[in-house]
Amino acid sequence: MRVEFTLLTVGLLLALSIIATRTTNRFGVPALLLFLIIGMLAGSDGPGGIAFEDYQLAQTVGVIALIFILFSGGLDTYWSAIRPVFVEGLILANGGVLLSSILLGVFTMLVLGFDWQMGLLLGAIVSSTDAAAVFSVMRGQSVNLKHRLEPLIELESGSNDPIAVFLTLGLVGLITTPGASLLALIPSFVLQMALGAVGGWLCGQVIVQAINRIRLQQEGLYVVFTLALTLLSYGAVALVGGNGFLAVYLAGMVVGNRNLVHKRSILRFHDGIAWLMQITMFLTLGLLVFPSQLVPVAPMGLLVALGLILIARPLSVAAVLIWFRRSLPEIVMVSWAGLRGAVPIVLATFPLLAGLPDAMLIFNIIFFVVLVSVLLQGMSITWVARRLGLNAEPKQEPEAQLYVPDVRLSSRMLEATIPADSSLVGQALIDAGVPRGVLVVHIQRGDTPLIPGGSTLLDAHDHLLLLATPEATPALEVWRRQANLCMVPAPGSPSRPEEGMPVA
């Protein structure tokens, strides 16, 4: 009955976590905080009484969860949105984290009496903002910020985990290895970031080509294929010495900004996987902590949290953004949106597994800091945005992530026939080079009508029904000549496509 009881427990915790998300919209409580609380209640000190002290397993679960969360975050990060803030975001993600860890380390040394090694280690562990927390809170509360602050915050949170991981592992190695030099970490960091960036871009290109060309018969296999490719991307880059977390985030960004077969299904699937990973990670970390051990460190944890939220984070953000001529309200907003989440808790397991002195104290302090950050910053982020005058009207995002032409009364319906010597024969529709502003509405193959999709293979003598905007006419003519198409107006055809037709 042990397996059955385990499955029952897991199912119950997942169901309770999902049901608890209703509280997010009703009372503004961040969902991640609820997941942590449910895990704590189910743990040894709670009514659930589940004994769980496997820090190695918790670390493994956290790493796997972060891989899929970062990949999903990359899928939702559009280059057109982050391009204006790309340099600003990268400097904030790396320089901001480094400066924040130093400032918080100095704060803990002066206020709590930590030595410089443990102080810097604590600062490094809690220095990065958490992508899962930021994505969840900002999108769950429909936060829409002006002046490109939203893509800046999301870019920072998605790309600053690698330096936090590197600093944590480097400082743990520095403490455990007598005679090691802090300066020796710099070349290693540059190499990891460079390999992670190049590897992530290459993996993203490979994923796009693999998905578009594999020609699977079942749509459901495409989403499973992306799971495998995501894990392969992380593992391949990490094995050659690159930063796997940066690689999967960049790979997701490359994939999300390209045309893809069954893209809508893939995006929805990874959104669900990201939520599952968030719930699993926070429940696991909630089980790992003993609430009774948090009470003695509460004063110390509160001081660290306030030092981070009110001193280290604002000063580090201001030191970076002031060079980009950001206003004071914008700097305050970016600073306040720097939520801490599961990443610091996962990183806090490294000192424990390394057997460092006071590692359990650091773990409990970090957990308390995360609770304060998610509770204080997460619940007030919308209010702060309004008080600063930076909250914009909600954006109306299209349901599909593919381009849909601007259909107007002036749009034209055309018929095109693919001759046997056309370069389009045997190509998938997504690879056919259909110009932007042109919609393939229908394909007639002999007596068989086809509903076109990105993976539909074109054949000789196929008849295509096209809808084209006036602006697409020059590109359409070039495409017609290159593909050797026979194209004529479609007399009597409707000027608007039927709702729900896929985009080429």
DSSP-assigned letters across all residues of 66-94: HHHHHHHHHHT--HHHHGGGHHHHHHIII
**Per residue in 432-474, pLDDT tens?**
888 888 888 888 888 888 888 777 888 888 888 888 888 788 8
Q: What is the mean pLDDT of the chain?
A: 82
Amino acid letter, residue 203: C
**pLDDT (0 to 100) of residue 147:** 79
Instruction: Supply angle C-alpha 431, 436, 437, rounded to 5.
Output: 130
Choose the weakest-confidence range: 86-100, 233-247, 278-292, 401-415: 401-415
If you average pLDDT over each of 32-41, 231-240, 392-401, 416-425, which comes out highest? 231-240
DSSP letter for 331, please.
H
Q: How many residues does the chain have?
A: 504
- 260-to-202, 209, 229, 273, 466 alpha-carbon distances in Å: 16, 9, 14, 19, 20
**Per residue in 284-301, pLDDT tens?**
888 888 777 788 888 999
pLDDT at 135 over 70: no
Q: What is the mean pLDDT of residues 130-157?
A: 75
**Structure-model confidence comparison of residues 502 and 175, the more confident one:** 175
**Which residues, 6 or more positions from 188, have their beta carbon under 8 angstroms from its beta carbon?**
166, 170
**pLDDT (0 to 100) of residue 402:** 40
Domains of the chain and CATH, by start: 2-387 (1.20.1530.20), 412-489 (3.30.70.1450)
**pLDDT (0 to 100) of residue 404:** 44
Buried b (16+ CB within 10 A) or exposed e, 298-308: eebbebbbebb
**Structure-model confidence comparison of residues 71 and 78, the more confident one:** 71
Q: Are 304 and 86 in contact (CB under 8 A)?
A: no
- Whole-angstrom distance, CA of residue 109 vs CA of residue 274: 37
Residue 351 dihedral angles phi and psi, to the nearest 5°: -60, -35
